[in-house]
Structure 1
Amino acid sequence: MPLTGARGSVVLFALVSVLLLAGAGAWLLGSPDLAVYPWAAATALGLVVSSVTTIGALRRRRPSVDVIAVLALAGSLAVGEALAGAVVAVMLASGQLLDARATARARRELGLLVARAPRTARRVQDGSVVEVPVDQVRRGDRVLVGTGEVVGVDGRLCGATTLDESALTGEPRPVERGVGEDVRSGVVVSGAPVELLATSLAGESTYAGVVRLVEQAQAGSAPLVRTADRFAVMFVPLTLLLAAAAWAWSGDPVRAVAVLVVATPCPLLLAAPIAVMSGLSRAARLGVVIKGGGALEQLAAGQVVLFDKTGTLTQGRPVVSDVVTAGPGTDPDETLRLAASLDQVSPHVMAGAIVSAATARGLALTLPTQVHEEHGYGLHGTVEGRAVRIGKAAWAHGAGAAPVWVLRARRRADLDGSLTVFVAVDGRPAAVLLLDDPVRADAPRMVRALREVGFERVVLLTGDRTETARSVGRLVGVDEVLAERDPAAKLAAVGAEGRDRVTVMVGDGVNDAPALAAADVGVALAARGATASSEAADVVLVVDRIDALADAVLVARRSRTIALQAAGVGMGLSLVAMVVAAAGLLAPAAGALVQEVVDVLAIAIALRALLPGRVHTVQLDQADRDTTARLRLQHDVVSGVVERLRSTADALTDATTDLAPARAVLAELEAVLLPHERAEEADLLPVLARAVGTTQATVGLSRTHAEVEHQVATLRRLLSRELPGPGDPHEAAVDGPHGRDLDAEDVVEVRGLLYGLYAVLRLHEAQEEEEVFSLVHPTRATP
């Protein structure tokens, strides 16, 4: 039944219901002749509405089964079955009303986002605050956002505050954000007013992209809905034949009217759209915008999924992975603190990574002065009276041959595929910051989840280097890696994969747009801002979680199944009722009531798609979330200790090497790392066991904790034992409280222990990020 709009549906339902009740009242009061008039009026009103919608469908050359409703209503008037006609009219009106309400509910989740779109921003300039249209904010502007206000542009915080991110993520709990952290437009400042440094234009921000997506995400006629419509049209000749046969066999036209009354295929026509719209609503609550019912059904049918790499399977933004210092006399944390303090005023993406790394380690930043940026080279300024330079090597460190430690850092960067940022303090080289684009912690779990829901093949399709792509592919578990592909080659790859299977392409960049458009379903990540890929895609993730895709597939498949169930049950019961009516066992009035019951049952089955179903999202109670968040903060601090293991091992070259740095690292391991590992064993692993429902999931992590304890104990014995003196192999010689320096063979063993411990801890960190900490990601949506 075509929709007449929310208001029209309410008015129609109210009128026919009042007329039906008025006739019933007259009949109960002993005036059956008077009751016929309101019933006949309701029938006539339903006949007019059905005739209008039927004529409209014919003009659009679309198949329609409203002709059955027209015949049923007209027949009811012709044979004097006004009560049956009135019940049919109420049935039609109630179907339209339920359909309109389901549509409104499905779109409400997204409509709320549009209504909250900020229009103005308060820009800080020349020591004062000026309110300007949000479109006038430029990158690098400082913007003041008050308590309760919506953030208008993407930016980087200049102070700490509390944010309500529920509008974008579904996360109901306020989130604490610190200096240097990135925030997305659309979140609400629920804590103290805060300034932020704009990193995007309003039109390119996250919230603007969401608004555009909402405008596109109107549920069109899905393939399942169109199939249902065509299938329902088959009922027209079947119904007419059965009605004619019943009339001819019995000679009673009332039987033909009864068949027409129960034959109206409302269950099929209403159930499919309602289930599809309900699925769109459920997906939206998970942070996934699906642009119409057709995209939802194609997503449910997906067999092959292709992923871009950068920003899709990886985080898409640099993260500081190590701080390589000039020597033992340079404190890596202090160097990072000075660099991050200077970078606070820069909107550059690498500056954000450096600031985030410093705040994650709990380092106190101060505002720099006399800051000047040399575009393409770097930034220099004064921090606490010290001259700090950040940028390219020759610009930061000066001309001349690079020191050995810089060459070593560059070699590491080349091997790891890292970016380098050089730091000089007071005119002297201080450190090299290594920045990586790490794999998303939730990516491997997402790939496993897609396989569980029925995807047969997973492909990594990227323009990046083969070695880097293969490394990422191994980590996330894809079937094939197609690297060094330009947009045209990506397009060809999607076409090849989609020759005989339904393809889903996932990407986030401009170069992904052609492939997204060519795939059966294009999925774009838009949590960090709108791109051309968002416009070309059929499905858009507005939460910064790639595993939301697996949940969206589950929602799509469940919605399609429910739509078919509702239609099957409804049409099956209608067929039975038609046969019973043709046999003369069901009067028109009773048949109308039976059809109404069938309609309500079919719609109720379809509305199940609005209820929460199975998703891969793991739910933790508040106590477990707090425990995980606390240990996650400690995890960031411990990462600095882990980085120093490798740099310390790099400095061990021969038997004359000073072992003081190695002993200092050992002290940090015992004072910082081991207590953290023991806290995880006692508090974090039980959280994981409760989340996944089995203690087997904790076995690997627990074994790693034991291995770390063993390796640290071995290092302690090696660095603190008394060794034989040179004069007498059986005589102990002690040089200071730690024993004398070790010989070359022992230095090699110390270096091996440090490298081994570094490798174990880096793997352990990755496992914890993937298996535990990603469960309470700040952008996780609540289903």
Structure 2
Amino acid sequence: MRSISVFARDYGSVFLAVLALAALGGGGLAFFLARPDLAMLAWFGGTGVVLAALAVEILQSLARGHLGVDVIAGLSMSAALAFGEPLAGAIVALMYAGGQQLENFAEGRARREMTALLGRVARTAMRYVDGHLEEVPIESLCPGERILMRRGEVVPVDGRLLSDRADVDMSALTGESLPVRLSRQDEVASGGTVVGSAFDLEVLRRSEESTYAGIVRLVETAQQSRAPMMRLADRYALWFLLLTLALAGSAWWASGDSTRALAVLVVATPCPLILAVPVAIISGLSRAASRGVLVKSGGALETLATIRVAVLDKTGTLTGGQAGVVAIRSSGAVPEDEVLRLAASLDQASNHVSAEALVCEAKTRGMVLSTPVEVVETPGTGLEGRIDGHAVVVGGSDFVRGRCSSGDPRALGTDLPPGTAVVALGIDGKVAGIILLADRLRPDAGAAIDAFRAQGIRRFVLASGDRADVVDAAGRMLGVDEIRGGLLPGEKVEVVLGERRNGPVMMIGDGVNDAPALAAADLGVAMGARGAAASSETADVVLLVDMLERLPQALAIARRTRRIARQSVVAGLALSVGAMIFAAGGYLPPVQGALLQEVIDVAVILNALRALRG
């Protein structure tokens, strides 16, 4: 039930529950010892204290303009004392105070995955200073500084690996059981746990700007939110209050027996309505977080369950967001692998995105790169230098052709797929080959869309700022319903708003240019594993792990959570109304009715906790 106050939520509700239990038990012992006077005193006293605390809560709610169903509990305790049924009042008091503890326990169990994120924040780090190590607060770390990460420590800030390798457990963020192995110069996200040997890390961002700090802020927001279904429960609760008063009054008027009215009030305390929804929603949020999908609020979880249209960005969402080698074509003078090795060796001297892609591909293939010398770079065009005694030139087709006496890279670059970039290689004045680069579709993109369809999403729209021919090729491969390329950020918003006629719309993106569309959609989803901070802050859902297939899983969790919440409310209220009818007919005395209602409460909460399971 609702907390009595901030203090009562943390401490007072425990005191009330213990007091109510002691009063009920002490009174029972006195009754069996043939001291009914002491029993009545204990039951009256325990009920009176809980009733007084509840009255404070009701008055505070009325001051905020809110009338909740806690009024029923107050009426039933008041009626029990007025009609000389202190035992029934003591049971209701225990039910009320114990209900708070039951809800706190259930929510604590449900929040386990999310609370685990908050509890893992690192406080200090070992920083190198003049060749020595000193322990400093993570707030004092600045970009460019070097820190030591030891086995068992949580990575405190985003950084770049300076050692040869590192093994980091990212299960708290991604749900993956196997550690991630990282290589020198790889970026290490904050929040992971070091499970291998110690390594050095270069700080890339301050602690408040790190990946993990952003996730913690999002988790805190999610924990403080209330879902529309929870607000809807408040509205239902008001109608339930009116029904209860009408039924209790009718029973008293028809029978002339005030005990029947008391019995109706006792069994009417609608804990199923108050407890079931928040417990189920928090369970769903926790379950999604354990799969690496952070849903910021209960309202977002409910909206996710209703989605029927998905608008998808391409770059960084359906593709990796970085160019990769898709093919190598040799002129015949040297093998294809040697074309890549020589180009990557020279590109070690450049920080161009294409150069980084070639070097990464060569290292992935296990190639041993040579050291470039006499390097001259023409920014944005190409490089010249010497590799293993050979004059090597790498760059665009025109750049390489202009520096070679024979061969033409364009002769090797016929029939290229849309969106393909060409890096040409010349050796000792001759064109040796070309390397084709493209931003490839994620391996799980097609499977993710199929999984979305299985979860009831009826329409998919690919909306991207990339060239129309590139977007069209990607869309046809994935089989989406509509393809829109060459869009500006404002045009993406128009696409999202236009799709609302087909049902609730989910927008999935990762860049700054996606933020307006994410905000305009019924539900915005950001690829937060490596997406822009602006999109993560704007979105309702953040994918913490770079695995698109986790989103359909989150959709399934959301729909199951909503179904369980509704089941709990309907079943709980149906049982309560049935008990009220029996009580109005005189077939359920107040004491037995109070015990029955407690059984209903426990059953409803256990059912709501099913949302935690897969």
TM beyond 0.5: yes
CA distance in 1, matches of 2:555, 2:381: 45
> Aligned runs of 1:676-715 on 2, under 5 Å?
none
Q: Is the counterpart of residue 437 in structure 1 residue 439 in structure 2? A: yes
The residue aligned with 1:773 is none
What do the CA deviations read for 1:446-479 (whole angstroms, capped 9, x no partner)? Answer: 1111111111211111122222112111222211
Contact 1:280 1:293 in 2 (8 A): yes
What is the CA distance between 1:407 and its match in structure 2? 1.8
The residue aligned with 2:264 is 259
CA distance in 1, matches of 2:192, 2:370: 26
Contact 1:319 1:437 in 2 (8 A): yes
What is the CA distance between 1:121 and its match in structure 2? 6.0
Question: Residues 204 and 331 of structure 1: is their aligned pair in 2 closer, same or farther, counting only changes over 3 Å?
Answer: farther
How many residues get paired? 608
What is the CA distance between 1:431 and its match in structure 2? 5.0
Question: Residues 46 and 518 of structure 1: is their aligned pair in 2 closer, same or farther, counting only changes over 3 Å?
Answer: same
Question: Residues 35 and 436 of structure 1: is their aligned pair in 2 closer, same or farther, counting only changes over 3 Å?
Answer: same
What is the CA distance between 1:529 and its match in structure 2? 4.7
What do the CA deviations read for 1:356-380 (whole angstroms, capped 9, x no partner)? Answer: 3123212245777898977645677
Which one of the candidate residues 388, 406, 409 is aligned to 1:406? 409
Q: Is the counterpart of residue 69 in structure 1 residue 68 in structure 2? A: no
Q: Is the counterpart of residue 167 in structure 1 residue 169 in structure 2? A: no
The residue aligned with 1:224 is 229
SS state of the match for residue 149, structure 1? coil
> Aligned runs of 1:454-603 on 2, under 5 Å?
454-499=456-501, 501-603=503-605
CA distance in 2, matches of 1:83, 1:387: 97
What is the CA distance between 1:594 and its match in structure 2? 0.8
Bigger shift: 51-60 or 227-236?
51-60
What is the CA distance between 1:544 and its match in structure 2? 0.5
CA distance in 2, matches of 1:33, 1:125: 76
Flag the structure with higher helix content: 1
The residue aligned with 1:93 is 97
Contact 2:404 2:430 in 1 (8 A): no
CA RMSD of aligned residues (A): 3.2
CA distance in 2, matches of 1:22, 1:529: 61
What is the CA distance between 1:541 and its match in structure 2? 0.6
CA distance in 2, matches of 1:372, 1:143: 34
The residue aligned with 1:236 is 241
SS state of the match for residue 116, structure 1? coil
Contact 1:27 1:35 in 2 (8 A): yes
Percent of pairs with identical residues: 47
What is the CA distance between 1:18 and its match in structure 2? 2.2
Q: Amino acid of the residue matched to residue 107 of structure 1?
A: R
CA distance in 2, matches of 1:32, 1:602: 35
CA distance in 1, matches of 2:394, 2:10: 60
Bigger shift: 549-558 or 311-320?
311-320
Q: Which has the larger radius of gyration?
A: 1
What do the CA deviations read for 1:472-494 (whole angstroms, capped 9, x no partner)? Answer: 11222211112222111111111
Question: Residues 460 and 37 of structure 1: is their aligned pair in 2 closer, same or farther, counting only changes over 3 Å?
Answer: same
Question: Residues 375 and 239 of structure 1: is their aligned pair in 2 closer, same or farther, counting only changes over 3 Å?
Answer: same
> Aligned runs of 1:275-674 on 2, under 5 Å?
275-325=280-330, 327-340=331-344, 349-365=353-369, 376=380, 397=400, 399-400=402-403, 404-411=407-414, 415-422=417-424, 431-499=433-501, 501-612=503-614
SS state of the match for residue 491, structure 1? helix
Unaligned runs of 5+ in 1: 613-783
What do the CA deviations read for 1:266-325 (whole angstroms, capped 9, x no partner)? Answer: 111110111111100100001111111111111101111111111111111221222344
Bigger shift: 282-291 or 207-216?
207-216
The residue aligned with 1:646 is none
The residue aligned with 2:2 is 2
SS state of the match for residue 462, structure 2? strand
Contact 2:407 2:431 in 1 (8 A): no
SS state of the match for residue 181, structure 2? strand
Which one of the candidate residues 19, 24, 31 is aligned to 1:27? 31
SS state of the match for residue 501, structure 2? coil
Question: Residues 173 and 401 of structure 1: is their aligned pair in 2 closer, same or farther, counting only changes over 3 Å?
Answer: closer
Question: Residues 338 and 165 of structure 1: is their aligned pair in 2 closer, same or farther, counting only changes over 3 Å?
Answer: farther
Question: Residues 575 and 276 of structure 1: is their aligned pair in 2 closer, same or farther, counting only changes over 3 Å?
Answer: same
CA distance in 1, matches of 2:27, 2:359: 75
The residue aligned with 1:53 is 57
CA distance in 2, matches of 1:538, 1:41: 48
CA distance in 2, matches of 1:586, 1:512: 60
Contact 1:304 1:455 in 2 (8 A): yes
SS state of the match for residue 507, structure 2? strand
CA distance in 1, matches of 2:348, 2:130: 19
CA distance in 1, matches of 2:395, 2:149: 31
Unaligned runs of 5+ in 2: none
What do the CA deviations read for 1:478-527 (whole angstroms, capped 9, x no partner)? Answer: 11112222111111111111136211111111111111111111111101
SS state of the match for residue 275, structure 1? helix
Question: Residues 301 and 342 of structure 1: is their aligned pair in 2 closer, same or farther, counting only changes over 3 Å?
Answer: same
Contact 1:206 1:530 in 2 (8 A): no
The residue aligned with 1:15 is 19
CA distance in 2, matches of 1:156, 1:231: 55
CA distance in 1, matches of 2:29, 2:595: 18
Bigger shift: 190-199 or 228-237?
190-199
SS state of the match for residue 320, structure 1? strand
Contact 2:23 2:45 in 1 (8 A): yes
CA distance in 2, matches of 1:402, 1:253: 108
SS state of the match for residue 234, structure 1? helix
Question: Residues 367 and 287 of structure 1: is their aligned pair in 2 closer, same or farther, counting only changes over 3 Å?
Answer: farther
The residue aligned with 1:207 is 212
What is the CA distance between 1:107 and its match in structure 2? 3.4
What do the CA deviations read for 1:141-161 (whole angstroms, capped 9, x no partner)? Answer: 776544333343153665233
What do the CA deviations read for 1:691-712 (whole angstroms, capped 9, x no partner)? Answer: xxxxxxxxxxxxxxxxxxxxxx
What is the CA distance between 1:136 and its match in structure 2? 5.0
CA distance in 2, matches of 1:10, 1:528: 44
The residue aligned with 1:187 is 192
CA distance in 2, matches of 1:271, 1:211: 26
Question: Residues 249 and 174 of structure 1: is their aligned pair in 2 closer, same or farther, counting only changes over 3 Å?
Answer: same
Contact 1:166 1:187 in 2 (8 A): yes
CA distance in 2, matches of 1:104, 1:382: 64
SS state of the match for residue 468, structure 1? helix
CA distance in 1, matches of 2:371, 2:98: 64
Contact 1:124 1:143 in 2 (8 A): yes
The residue aligned with 1:762 is none
The residue aligned with 1:708 is none
CA distance in 1, matches of 2:66, 2:193: 46
Contact 2:158 2:187 in 1 (8 A): no
Contact 1:161 1:194 in 2 (8 A): yes
SS state of the match for residue 441, structure 1? coil
CA distance in 2, matches of 1:27, 1:558: 48
The residue aligned with 1:747 is none
What do the CA deviations read for 1:534-563 (whole angstroms, capped 9, x no partner)? Answer: 111111110111111100010000000000
Question: TM-score normalised to the size of structure 2?
Answer: 0.89
Q: Amino acid of the residue matched to residue 193 of structure 1?
A: A
CA distance in 2, matches of 1:252, 1:603: 33
Q: Amino acid of the residue matched to residue 460 of structure 2?
A: V
CA distance in 2, matches of 1:399, 1:203: 49
